[in-house]
Structure 1
Amino acid sequence: MARSVFLLDAFAHGPRLEGAAQAARDAGTAPAADTAVVRPAAPRAVSPGLAALALALVLGGCAAPAETPLPAVPTAASWREAGAWAPAQPADEAPRGDWWTLFGDPELDALERRLDAQSPDLAAALARYDQARAASALAGAAQGPSVSGSANVQRDRQSRQRPLRVLGPNSPDLYDSATLTLDLEYEIDLWGRVRQQVTSARAAEAAAQADLASARLSLQAQLADQWIALRGLDRDAQLLRSTEAAYARALDLVRERHDGGIASGLDLARAQAQLEATRSQLRQSLAQRAVVEHAVAALVGESPSTFSVETRSEALPLPSVPTGLPSQLLQRRPDIAAAQRRVAAANASLGVARTAFFPSVTLSAMGGLQTSQPGQILGAPNTWWAIGPTLALALFDGGRRAAGIANAQAQLDEAGARYRGQVLAAFQQVEDSLALIRETGAAADSEAAGLAAARRALALSTARYTEGAASYLEVVASQAAALQAERSLLDLGNRQRRATVTLVKALGGGWSPA
């Protein structure tokens, strides 16, 4: 019978209720003690055929696995960081759209199209999906009969000492033989073994299809993230170049004052050190940009040696993502759908393992033509045929079948646990992204105010130095503070945009106002 009934949290820690009687008592369907009993009439004779059919149906029901609910996942009534939430059901087939167009960059749009056409990682994921489709088709073919044919023409020599020689002791040692054969085999799926194999294969195919969608979404998000990082480094390099020019002018001013005996050698050394430190930061930023550019090339299937992206300092827009995100977005995560379908595949595989305890019934039929005169093979006397069922059952296997069921059950438990972990990870990723977008936005506001103050301090310290009221150390400190504040502001804006990409990925793709 069905081995176990899973509660919603059975994969995590729930008990299993064994037996139909216990299930009936729990459901309140067991007869009460004082229920009137109606004595049946005298039993009628049951034909052996009907009895065999009834037994097959009962045993088939024992072999079929019970419907396995997905494990329960702790959820909340709303996102902790923002918006309302409702329980989700997989809808990963829903269109996701070209969500990266939110950043308004035609170059990114073109690269995303190239990624879809040229990415080797995406091609590998597509090949894995094609393998799953082929495996599903192969499993489905087992539901129908197999028909094969053969033809054989040969020259034979039989031994003189062969028992039961053809045509007796006086038959010729040498003779010709021609045979045409048609063979048909069909497994009668009484216990649902073939049906469960097909169910498992189709669920695995659906999981592979979801894996393909997940790989595409992941690569799209990775490319968008790298592109945002690249454009952020372009703006950082532009800032450092303008700062380098400003520090070079400041160095010229200090050198003039030093040559005129107004500034000390210490002031000159500080101005030179500040300029060289900025040049070093610029070279480091350019090195990071080159690495990111190479990563973009690999993502879109191009050689990093020939791929290049022109420098552009315009800031990418920051998409406005509503905090009250529709709960349906989480339903569209393809990795969650893949995990759910692998639970279904493992459940069907458990049913296949249980059928090993029941005999396999195969109906075979074969026939054809056979003669020792190949030129006259098409004749009624040359016909032959054979038909009949085959019943096969393993009587002793040293516990192999029981171990197979235990293994299938463990795989089902693992698939359920992985599904639960995938959903929890999805919740975490959405919450993380919402928190990053909100907090980095608030930090950027504070950093902007700090930058304005740092620029005022730089202007005042420069004026005081020019007037001889302060040392160049004040100028250097103000320069460093202003540069750090401006670079931090650029970085926070970059992190906000990258967190938006992560949020889109966490929600399973793009969305539409509808």
Structure 2
Amino acid sequence: MKISHTALAISLTLLLGGCMVGPDYHRPQAPVPTQYKELSGWMQAAPSDEAPKGDWWTTFNDPLLDQLEPQVSVSNQTVRQAYANYQEALADVKVARASLFPTIGLSGSGTKQRTTSSSASLNPDFHPVSTSGSAEGNISWAPDLWGKVRRTIEENKATAQADQATLANATLSEQTALATAVIELRVTDANTDLLQKTVDAYTEYLRVVENQGTAGTTPPSDVITARTQLENAKASLIALGVARAQYEHAIAVLVGKNPEELDIPHSTTLPTLPDVPVGVPSTLLQRRPDITVAERQMAAQNAAVGVAISAYYPSISLSAADGFSQSPLAGLLHLANHIWSVGADVDETVFDFGARHGEVAAAKAAYEAAVANYRGTVLTAFQNVEDDFSGLRILAQQADVLDAAVKDSTQGAQIALNEYQAGTVDYTTAATAQATQLSTEESALSVKQQRLLDTVSLIGDLGGGWSADQLGDSKQADKQANAEH
């Protein structure tokens, strides 16, 4: 089969010498500041090399977070969907890569046939039977002279990496959603404790007022005011049960469970507010998976331009067959029965009324849109981080003021009650002081909640310890797949 081998050798030489049409990919510049605006002149307490790697939630020192967060990457349905999409993209890369190589096949046939002849007139019972057969191997190949297949592989690899980053982004998003729900649940429990303490205090206030009303030293309106104040506090306490139940249900779904499968006991301890190492702004391009998604989509669109341009050039396909054919079947593999064939096809579109030009223009426009999306994603990422920094900075100042306000309002409420019991002020003054104390304590708790939520948001906006260096590393994905099955 010397001719077939020669043809394949020539084709291989053409392939190796072939070019790849279309633009080679170079990542466009993106707007990156030299430092974060909110951190100007401020030195971090924690060095950036101590940033959380993977299990970032452990810095909050909350047992519920430590228990549930690892389940997100295994059981969360959004994450599992993203994982399946990533596996599909990897399969598409394999399909595209296979087009670089020849397609090899084997075929065989056998036929047994009874025929008539002149001998049948002499002997009607005589009907000769003949047997024939063939065995053949064939090979076909379309050499990638202009790089269409290689550009397609490049496009599919970039798409697969975008899907891998999408998986990381989905995991991080669901993890931060779980942390947010847990914080909301813990704050609801803290609010419950606060309102229960308030109900107990208002109950005692009502007892004092009722005693004075019975003694005739206070008007009935004071008793009604004290009772109304207590009833409103009880109603607010009951209402917290709705929010807590909803947070608990949300937590269950985030870890892939039905709501009835998860029962979270009441806790009086809020998560710890951690220090979050930041690093320089330029590292954000590597640490945020959504930026990597946009960058890899941009690379895929760049390769798609090359695929579209390759349509201007002719396509060549080669084929060869080699085998044996014999009738009768005996001696099929004898050299005299050897058959072979070699062929080549060339296909070129001469005129298509601008279809190829339109496809190239569309591919270039899609690439420009991907560039704009990438740069917009980068800008939004820096906005997110700056928002988190400003929130944490301002809330820290507010927390200091509110801590002082809580002490003052608590002292004021006690003084007002004492003055009321002494008969120097009316109950409206005491009731107002009590309401102010409750409102101030609720505001202080709300600020603690928002500081925790902004910290979770900051960790997520900084990438949660992820890095684009992990692209192409299937160890984590394989670990997840094994855990799922």
1:320 corresponds in structure 2 to 275
The one-letter amino acid paired with 1:384 is I
Work out whether 1:233 is the aligned partner of 2:188. yes
The 8 Å contact of residues 371 and 377 in structure 1, kept in 2 or not, is answered as yes
What SS does the aligned partner of 2:343 have?
strand
Work out whether 1:114 is the aligned partner of 2:71. yes
Change (3 A) 1:139 1:157: farther
Any stretches of 5+ residues in structure 2 without a counterpart? Answer: 1-9, 43-50, 116-126, 468-485
The 8 Å contact of residues 83 and 325 in structure 1, kept in 2 or not, is answered as no
What SS does the aligned partner of 2:38 have?
coil
For 2:327 and 2:108, the matched residues in 1 are separated by 14
Work out whether 1:193 is the aligned partner of 2:136. no
The 8 Å contact of residues 60 and 191 in structure 1, kept in 2 or not, is answered as yes
Work out whether 1:179 is the aligned partner of 2:138. no
Change (3 A) 1:377 1:452: same
1:270 corresponds in structure 2 to 225
Deviation at 1:106, TM superposition (A): 2.5
For 1:196 and 1:511, the matched residues in 2 are separated by 28
For 2:448 and 2:273, the matched residues in 1 are separated by 8
1:251 corresponds in structure 2 to 206
For 1:95 and 1:495, the matched residues in 2 are separated by 21
1:504 corresponds in structure 2 to 459
For 1:83 and 1:97, the matched residues in 2 are separated by 28
For 2:226 and 2:337, the matched residues in 1 are separated by 109
Alpha-carbon RMSD across the aligned residues, in angstroms, is 2.7
Matches within 5 A, 1:68-79: 68-79=25-36
2:320 corresponds in structure 1 to 365
Change (3 A) 1:301 1:173: farther
For 2:66 and 2:282, the matched residues in 1 are separated by 27
For 2:379 and 2:263, the matched residues in 1 are separated by 40
Out of 91, 106, 118, the position equivalent to 1:134 is 91
Aligned length: 436
Deviation at 1:419, TM superposition (A): 0.6
Change (3 A) 1:154 1:407: farther
Whose RCO is larger (CA < 8 A, sep 6+)?
2
Out of 314, 337, 343, the position equivalent to 2:298 is 343
What SS does the aligned partner of 1:268 have?
helix
Out of 419, 425, 441, the position equivalent to 2:396 is 441
Change (3 A) 1:217 1:304: same
Matches within 5 A, 1:266-415: 266-322=221-277, 327-374=282-329, 376-415=331-370
For 1:206 and 1:156, the matched residues in 2 are separated by 58
For 1:329 and 1:404, the matched residues in 2 are separated by 35
Deviation at 1:95, TM superposition (A): 8.6
Deviation at 1:97, TM superposition (A): 2.5
For 1:413 and 1:403, the matched residues in 2 are separated by 15
Change (3 A) 1:155 1:273: farther
Q: 1:345-364: CA deviations, max 9, x gaps? A: 11111101101010011121
Change (3 A) 1:260 1:198: same
Out of 115, 123, 140, the position equivalent to 2:80 is 123
1:13 corresponds in structure 2 to none
Work out whether 1:103 is the aligned partner of 2:60. yes
The 8 Å contact of residues 148 and 182 in structure 1, kept in 2 or not, is answered as yes
Change (3 A) 1:237 1:330: farther
Deviation at 1:173, TM superposition (A): 12
Q: Between Structure 1 and Structure 2, which shows a larger proportion of helix residues?
A: 2
Change (3 A) 1:109 1:417: same
For 1:226 and 1:202, the matched residues in 2 are separated by 36
Deviation at 1:227, TM superposition (A): 1.1
**Farther-moved stretch of structure 1 (255-264 vs 462-471):** 255-264
Change (3 A) 1:325 1:313: farther
Q: 1:416-459: CA deviations, max 9, x gaps? A: 11111110111011101101111111111111122122112211
Any stretches of 5+ residues in structure 1 without a counterpart? Answer: 1-51, 86-93, 159-171
Query: TM-score w.r.t. structure 1 length?
Result: 0.79
The one-letter amino acid paired with 2:155 is S
For 2:190 and 2:230, the matched residues in 1 are separated by 19
Deviation at 1:392, TM superposition (A): 0.9
For 1:249 and 1:271, the matched residues in 2 are separated by 10
The 8 Å contact of residues 70 and 416 in structure 1, kept in 2 or not, is answered as no
Change (3 A) 1:364 1:245: same
The 8 Å contact of residues 25 and 303 in structure 2, kept in 1 or not, is answered as no
The one-letter amino acid paired with 1:461 is A
Q: 1:66-115: CA deviations, max 9, x gaps? A: 23443433333321111589xxxxxxxx9933111100122211101122
**Farther-moved stretch of structure 1 (307-316 vs 70-79):** 70-79
1:209 corresponds in structure 2 to 164
Query: TM-score w.r.t. structure 2 length?
Result: 0.84
1:23 corresponds in structure 2 to none
Q: 1:347-389: CA deviations, max 9, x gaps? A: 1111011010100111211122333434553333333211122
Deviation at 1:234, TM superposition (A): 0.9
The 8 Å contact of residues 363 and 388 in structure 1, kept in 2 or not, is answered as yes
The 8 Å contact of residues 227 and 296 in structure 1, kept in 2 or not, is answered as yes
Change (3 A) 1:419 1:330: closer
For 1:152 and 1:263, the matched residues in 2 are separated by 112
Deviation at 1:154, TM superposition (A): 4.5
What SS does the aligned partner of 1:305 have?
helix
Deviation at 1:312, TM superposition (A): 0.5
Matches within 5 A, 1:5-84: 64-82=21-39
1:464 corresponds in structure 2 to 419
Matches within 5 A, 1:480-495: 480-495=435-450
Change (3 A) 1:347 1:403: same
Change (3 A) 1:154 1:467: farther
What SS does the aligned partner of 1:183 have?
strand
Q: 1:253-311: CA deviations, max 9, x gaps? A: 21222222222221111111111111121122221111111111000011101211111
For 1:149 and 1:438, the matched residues in 2 are separated by 72
The one-letter amino acid paired with 2:428 is L
Change (3 A) 1:403 1:259: same
The one-letter amino acid paired with 2:363 is A
What SS does the aligned partner of 1:151 have?
strand
For 1:333 and 1:401, the matched residues in 2 are separated by 37
Change (3 A) 1:257 1:67: same
For 2:87 and 2:147, the matched residues in 1 are separated by 26
The 8 Å contact of residues 214 and 335 in structure 1, kept in 2 or not, is answered as yes
- The sequence identity of aligned pairs, in percent, is 36
Work out whether 1:222 is the aligned partner of 2:177. yes
